[in-house]
A = this chain, B = another copy of it.
Amino acid sequence: MDPRVREHAAVLVDWSARVEAGDDVVLSVGPDAHELAVAVAEKLGERGANLLATYDSGDLTRAYQRAHDGDFEESTHELALYEAADVYLSIGGARNTSATADVPGETRQAYRSAHQDVRETRYDTRWVSTVHPTRSLAQQANMAYEAYRDFAYDAILRDWESLADEMAKLKERLDAGSEVRLVGPGTDLTMAIEGRTAVNSAASVAYDSHNLPSGEVFTAPYAADGEVTFDVPMTIQDQPVRDVTLRFEDGEVVDYDAEQGESVIADVLDTDEGARRLGELGIGMNRGIDRFTDSILFDEKMGDTVHLALGRAYDACLPDGESGTESAVHVDMITDVSEGSRLEVDDDVVQRNGTFQWEDGFGE
């Protein structure tokens, strides 16, 4: 076993999920994530946690959803599982990242809507999502397998404490601010952030951060106005999507177009009311990620990028008792801010062309 697989498992279990003796852990395993699953199982055994492994296969999902009449119910047993669980670790590892590409959009959305409580309950655990670097992800990234493994472990095996210290500077600015403005090619968007709390997403539940890798600072904006263009190519619901432009008025999408995948965006926007509002503004700060690989887990964390999500906001960004955008979806889209771009908080430029104010001293 590549020693980095065991290091990945250790970061996931200890740094990310803070697993302790007696924790009831659900480990979701993709078909090609077997090797990492074995290393995680070993680590969970060492920690004295209780392990139940679930099987997350696109082939099963496709077969099940296509055969179903579409009138999906809540899974009471799945709900009971997550209600009793302390920790949920998802290690993605598809054999084919397009395995569910021919499931009709409305079927997926019906399934997602019926399972909203299941997802919410999972989010109430100490949950962490990661992926095992598979051949399918290498292919999606247009990279050789060995090179992709190097890429993935560079992103995952970081000095997370040191990155958390750096990200704290941006969190401080966002927490103190009322309004964010993002300007760039095809983009001029203002969003309110007053009263919202930014998350220093350092790949650990201790930081309200649930992705490994992470390395972003995100908050829950509202009252978006203006236009934004997402120029980073992506795969959304197994479909390629390119150059999406969204126009917002009073916080809601009023117009949209896309060079490719416009019908996917239409499906997303039609899910529910929350799917037409923003749930997240995130600023990528993981400079271990040096290229786009058509995987949201990595792309949205990359330095020199900013992303926005349609749909559900994360509770960690909201004041106690206040709800942000609620939706069955949370769909991220990314814009490259390395050139001709700036991010302002209350009229102060905090980032220009990917460089932060405290790195370069501009505007001081």
Chain A interfacial positions (CB closer than 8 Å to B): 22, 24, 26-27, 29, 31, 34, 37-39, 41-46, 48, 50-57, 59-61, 63-69, 71-86
Across-interface contacts of A54 in B (CB, < 8 A) = 52-55
Across-interface contacts of A76 in B (CB, < 8 A) = 24, 50, 84
Please name 10 further chain A to chain B contacts, defined as beta carbons within 8 Å, in addition to the given A39-B63, A53-B54, A80-B84, sorted by A numbering: A24-B78, A37-B57, A45-B63, A45-B64, A45-B68, A46-B67, A51-B75, A52-B75, A53-B56, A81-B84
Cross-interface CB contact of A67 among B43, B59, B67, cutoff 8 Å: B43
In the bound assembly, the distance between CA atoms of A74 and B79 in angstroms comes to 19
Across-interface contacts of A84 in B (CB, < 8 A) = 76-77, 79-81
| A187–chain B nearest beta-carbon distance, Å | 42
Across-interface contacts of A50 in B (CB, < 8 A) = 72-78
Q: Is B52 in contact with A66, judged by CB distance below 8 angstroms?
A: no
CB-based nearest B residue for A24: B77
Q: Is B45 in contact with A67, judged by CB distance below 8 angstroms?
A: yes
Across-interface contacts of A71 in B (CB, < 8 A) = 48
In the bound assembly, the distance between CA atoms of A288 and B290 in angstroms comes to 60
Q: A77-B26, A77-B85, A84-B79 are in contact. Are A57 and B53 (CB under 8 A)?
A: yes
Across-interface contacts of A69 in B (CB, < 8 A) = 48
Q: Is B45 in contact with A65, judged by CB distance below 8 angstroms?
A: yes
Across-interface contacts of A29 in B (CB, < 8 A) = 55, 57, 60
In the bound assembly, the distance between CA atoms of A34 and B75 in angstroms comes to 22
CB-based nearest B residue for A79: B84
Q: Is A22 in contact with B73, judged by CB distance below 8 angstroms?
A: yes
CB<8 Å pairs between A and B, sample of 15: A29-B57, A34-B59, A41-B59, A41-B64, A42-B64, A43-B67, A44-B67, A45-B67, A45-B68, A46-B68, A50-B75, A53-B57, A54-B54, A77-B82, A77-B86
In the bound assembly, the distance between CA atoms of A83 and B81 in angstroms comes to 9
In the bound assembly, the distance between CA atoms of A87 and B54 in angstroms comes to 16
Q: Is A34 in contact with B57, judged by CB distance below 8 angstroms?
A: yes
In the bound assembly, the distance between CA atoms of A85 and B66 in angstroms comes to 23
Across-interface contacts of A82 in B (CB, < 8 A) = 77
- Minimum-distance CB pairs A-B, first 6: A45-B67, A80-B84, A24-B77, A42-B63, A45-B68, A77-B84
| A229–chain B nearest beta-carbon distance, Å | 39
Across-interface contacts of A73 in B (CB, < 8 A) = 22, 50
Across-interface contacts of A56 in B (CB, < 8 A) = 53
CB-based nearest B residue for A95: B34
Q: Is A52 in contact with B77, judged by CB distance below 8 angstroms?
A: yes
